Amino acid sequence: MRTCTKAGKLYDTVYDHDTPREACGLFGVYAPGEDVARLTYFGLFALQHRGQESAGIAVSDGARIRAYKDLGLVTRVFTEPVLQSLQGYIAVGHTRYSTTGSSTLRNVQPITCPTEHGNIAVAHNGNLVNAHVLRAQLEAIGEQFETTNDSEVIVRLIARALDEGADIVSAIRQMMRQVEGAYSLAILTPTQLIGVRDPFGVRPLCLGKLGDAWVLASETCALPPIGAEYVRDVMPGEIVVIDERGLHSYEGLPSEREALCMFELIYFARPDSHLYGRLLYEVRRRMGQILAREHPADADLVIPVPDSGIPAAVGYATESGIPYGDGLIKNRYAPRTFIQPDQRLREQSVRLKLTPLREVIAGKRLVVVDDSIVRGTTTRQIVRLLFEAGAREVHMRITAPPIRFPCHYGIDMATQRELVAAHHTVEDVRQQIGATSLGYLSIEGLLEAAGQPRNRFCLACFNGEYPIPIPDDVELVKEIFEQPQSSLSVRADVPLTADV
Ligand code: SF4
């Protein structure tokens, strides 16, 4: 039996859950002579916003791959002794928010796996839509899965192809021909760092240079903190292999069209990252400007819902001529994932994160700019908070169109049943959240702000047009591969350190 990773202690985690949840963050570095584990640590730290459930780093010294991973934030998982134990010259790292498979230690990435022709470690950002089919096929021929995430399907397909004698590029190509869905990958072999992007390029992945060293990262914001410079994006369908001979590019699968996730531009990616060559702070500021044209308001003050609403609120204020101000203060230590408060606190849980500045907003007609409405519960609490603090009017302005369809490509939003805009008109939603008025940015406005044509984006959660077909034979829920807890092998409560 192939042991790709090891079971770990199970943790219970509960979340405050009314915003879209990030995918995951990937980082990789090929840098002989450098402390690659430390570089990866700082890269993952810059990508922490993409996933706060767990973190892992795998390092190769040219012969052996070592991995360390645990639940928690990057700064909690990696201590100085741990980083010092990860010696080598190639590394891949991962920060996780789970979209398939629960938040347990056994699901933490990178997934390490022995093969007949060398060991591999794989970090995945995205979500497969046919993992259930492939997993059943692999189980039927004897593969025994040890995680409940879709990423292990990718690892086992590559490992099987390597076992059968394929070289690494051919093995990845074989995997790409079988999997469907969204995947950006950072793969480590004993002597290579490899980047892969699905043919639609749903999740971002870029290449950077640090002197003679090469870097892979989910977002460009991970490059400056380690002194690296952006080189280019890994292209949809491309495999890049970095080894002692430098960087080599291969076609994995032909790309018929791009479908970068529009929510990366709206919310997920950091505002100091670039996508399609544009700074996202500027793209979001333009979203606010266009929103002001599409949904003007007669108001005294424009305030953001911090932090994600700030650039768009600046844009709205500039375009409308209404003064900009801070009306809500965010507790900077409030995590995006949150222990669920008791029933009484849950109904007002936004108060744990946001405090209104009564002296600023009392008696004012407010324009309040936020990035999205998912279930509507958080927005309703924010509106109530502002009225209780004395606001005379609250005009909600949202820099995304109504979310009417679920995401199957790596963003955990909600089921369609839970999406408030899926079953209600804009006026119904306005009444539910209690706002004076409500305006959403149009898809056309989004595209204008992005400065790119429609066919470069996935817009499925707004218009239901999924660029990668979704199977209708199974509900793609996060727990699709969960086993009864009693069947899991539970290890000691130490973080997983694995030699493979
Ligand atoms: S469905 Fe929405 S959140 Fe999911 S990839 Fe497409 S644009 Fe992004």
Q: What is the pLDDT of residue 288?
A: 98
Q: Which atom of ligand 1 is nearest the CA belonging to 405?
A: 1
Looking at the DSSP bridge assignments, the partners of residue 182 are 127
On whether the CB atoms of residues 385 and 437 are closer than 8 A, the answer is: no
Q: How many CA atoms lie within 13 A of 329 on its CB side?
A: 8
- Mutate which of 261, 372, 403, 408 for ligand 1? The one with the most ligand atoms within 8 Å of its CB, which is 261
89: its two tokens: 């010259």
Q: What is the pLDDT of residue 75?
A: 95
Of the residues 24, 261, 407, 458, only one is catalytic, namely 24
CA of 172 to the centre of ligand 1 (A): 25
Domain 24-259+480-499 in CATH 3.30.2320.20? The answer is no
CA of 411 to the centre of ligand 1 (A): 7
Strand-pair category, 301-304 with 328-330: unpaired
Q: Give the list of residues 6+ apart from residue 279 with CB closer than 8 angstroms, or none.
A: 271, 272, 273
Q: Which atom of ligand 1 is nearest the CA belonging to 403?
A: 2
Residue 264 is classified by DSSP as I
Fill in the amino acid letter for 99. Answer: T
CA of 461 to the centre of ligand 1 (A): 5
Largest CA-CA distance found in the chain, in angstroms, rounded: 73
Fill in the amino acid letter for 291. Answer: L
d(C-alpha 348, C-alpha 146), whole Å:
39
pTM for the whole structure: 0.90
CA distances from 156 to 150, 289, 317, 371, 493 (A): 11, 47, 52, 38, 26
The residue whose CA is least distant from atom 5 of ligand 1 is 261
Q: What is the pLDDT of residue 336?
A: 57
d(C-alpha 401, C-alpha 412), whole Å:
17
Q: Which of 153, 172, 169, 171 is nearest to 161 (CA)?
A: 171
- Mutate which of 200, 411, 419 for ligand 1? The one with the most ligand atoms within 8 Å of its CB, which is 411
The residue whose CA is least distant from atom 2 of ligand 1 is 461
173: its two tokens: 């190509």
d(C-alpha 48, C-alpha 309), whole Å:
19
Which H helix or E strand runs over 140?
A: helix 131-140
Ranges for all domains in the chain classified under CATH 3.40.50.2020: 274-452
Q: What is the pLDDT of residue 96?
A: 85
Please report, in tens digits, the pLDDT of each residue of the chain (500 residues total).
666 654 333 333 333 446 665 579 999 999 999 999 999 999 999 999 999 889 999 999 999 999 999 999 999 999 999 999 999 999 999 998 865 666 677 888 999 999 987 899 999 999 999 999 999 999 999 999 988 889 999 999 999 999 999 999 999 999 999 999 999 999 999 999 999 999 999 999 999 999 999 999 999 999 999 999 999 999 999 999 999 999 999 999 999 999 999 999 999 999 999 999 999 999 999 999 999 999 999 999 999 999 999 999 999 999 999 999 999 999 887 665 555 556 566 666 788 889 999 999 999 999 999 999 999 999 999 999 999 999 999 999 999 999 999 999 988 777 888 899 999 999 999 999 999 999 999 999 999 999 999 999 999 999 999 999 998 765 655 556 654 332 322 222 223 333 33
Strand-pair category, 393-398 with 365-370: parallel
Report the 10 Å Cβ neighbour count for 253. Answer: 19
Architecture of domain 274-452: 3-Layer(aba) Sandwich (3.40)
Q: What is the pLDDT of residue 495?
A: 31
On whether the CB atoms of residues 453 and 258 are closer than 8 A, the answer is: no
What is the 3 state secondary structure string of 411-435? CECCCHHHCHHHCCCHHHHHHHHCC
Looking at the DSSP bridge assignments, the partners of residue 196 are 185, 239
CA of 105 to the centre of ligand 1 (A): 27
CA of 259 to the centre of ligand 1 (A): 9
Is 24 marked active-site?
yes
CA of 410 to the centre of ligand 1 (A): 8
- Residues with Cβ within 6 A of ligand 1? 202, 261-263, 407, 409, 411, 458-461
d(C-alpha 158, C-alpha 163), whole Å:
9
CA of 481 to the centre of ligand 1 (A): 22
Q: What is the pLDDT of residue 16?
A: 42
d(C-alpha 486, C-alpha 273), whole Å:
43
On whether the CB atoms of residues 66 and 88 are closer than 8 A, the answer is: yes
Q: Which atom of ligand 1 is nearest the CA belonging to 408?
A: 4
Q: What is the pLDDT of residue 7?
A: 34
In terms of residues, how long is the chain?
Answer: 500
- Mutate which of 97, 258, 263 for ligand 1? The one with the most ligand atoms within 8 Å of its CB, which is 263
Q: What is the pLDDT of residue 102?
A: 61
Q: Which of 151, 107, 106, 155 is nearest to 131 (CA)?
A: 151
464: its two tokens: 């239901």
Our measurement of the distance from residue 342's CA atom to the centroid of its chain's CA atoms, rounded to an integer in Å, reads 28
CA of 125 to the centre of ligand 1 (A): 13
Ranges for all domains in the chain classified under CATH 3.60.20.10: 24-259+480-499
- Mutate which of 128, 180, 198, 262 for ligand 1? The one with the most ligand atoms within 8 Å of its CB, which is 262
Q: Which atom of ligand 1 is nearest the CA belonging to 462?
A: 2
On whether the CB atoms of residues 239 and 174 are closer than 8 A, the answer is: no
Q: Which atom of ligand 1 is nearest the CA belonging to 406?
A: 1
- Strands of 189-308, DSSP E: 193-197, 206-210, 213-217, 229-233, 238-243, 246-251, 260-261, 274-275, 278-279, 301-304
Q: Which atom of ligand 1 is nearest the CA belonging to 413?
A: 3
